Amino acid sequence: MFFEDLSDEQRNIVAASIIADGEITKLYKNSRRRNNSYREHFSKEQLEYRKWKMKFFPDILYLRTDDTYLVSKSLPLFTKLYHHFYNEKGNKKIPSELLHYCTLPHFLAVLFLDDGSLMITKPINHRKKLIYITPHASLYLQNYPKSDLTLLQNHLNETFNLNFKLNKRRDGFGYILKLTSVEETLKLLSLTKSTISTIPSMRYKFDWEYRKNMELSKNKLLSGYTVISSDSMRFKNYTQIEIKRLITLKKAGLTHKEISTALNRPYWSIVYKLREIRKDGHL
């Protein structure tokens, strides 16, 4: 069996897995093995997720007895794939020749569950006694050079209509991929949720309603404060007419509250949209 013989779901899952947490084992000189194999180490808290992966490859992947490794036997499949995912020095690279296969939500979902994080910011307005819960998603792939990450960034943005940005880090090669707006993060969660909804142990990562309730329960310590969470209704797309009117009203000197009333949009939706418009140089 080779990569082309796999189902669409299998191709997307195995490609994302090798890019992220998984690895193709090396063949060393004088080794008795004729083919490479697959290996993926994980914590026992993620066992359910690895069992989900394994269901797609019943004849290829299996769990070691200690339930912390998902592995395969030595197979021609992984021997053929090795040069796509590793350079001549044995370091990982993005498989440019295979990305055209990677167009299903499974690819995005596995990248996110393997190496992604749903980060929550909670700015507090003590004057108004408000707590704002805002999600942002990142893919921690700093083990790839910037050029490789840019290749993956472009593929994800074009294929899934997202807007991943390169974000600087001090470790690895210095960059990760990050969604900088709430709207983009919620879009990512919406794209992947149905694919991985059968993995309850990972809900904190892909189910915004579930995660939001977790965060709400944590913030009960500030008595008398109101918690405002970001949701899709607050960030529904603006029409071009709304954007033009928003810019006109802001240039006319209206306050955020007055613009919110005029456009019948939530106050913080106006704040975030104006921030985005300024960043794009339109205001």
- For 29-55, what is the mean pLDDT? 93
Calculate the average pLDDT of the chain.
90
Higher pLDDT among residues 121 and 19, named by residue:
19
Amino acid making up residue 131:
I
Dihedral sign computed on CA atoms, order 112, 184, 131, 231:
negative
Length of the chain measured in residues? 283
| C-alpha to C-alpha distance for 171 and 110, rounded to whole angstroms | 23
- For 68-83, what is the mean pLDDT? 96
- State the residue for tokens 């004057």: 127
3-state helix, strand, coil in the chain (%, to 5): 50, 15, 35
- For 98-103, what is the mean pLDDT? 97
| C-alpha to C-alpha distance for 179 and 20, rounded to whole angstroms | 18
Contact 60, 30 (CB under 8 A): no
Is pLDDT of 232 > 50? no
* Burial class of residue 108 in the structure, from the number of CB atoms within 10 Å of its CB (0-12 exposed, 13-18 middle, 19+ buried): buried
Contact 179, 137 (CB under 8 A): yes
Percent of the chain with pLDDT over 70: 96
| C-alpha to C-alpha distance for 225 and 84, rounded to whole angstroms | 53
- For 219-239, what is the mean pLDDT? 67
What is the pLDDT at residue 230?
A: 66
DSSP secondary structure code for residue 5 in this structure: G
Query: How many helical (H) and strand (E) elements, i.e. helices and strands, does the chain have?
Result: 11, 10
The C-alpha R_g of the chain, in whole angstroms, comes to 22
Is pLDDT of 26 > 50? yes
Q: What is the band of 233 on the pLDDT scale with cuts at 50, 70, 90?
A: very low
pTM for this model (two decimals): 0.79
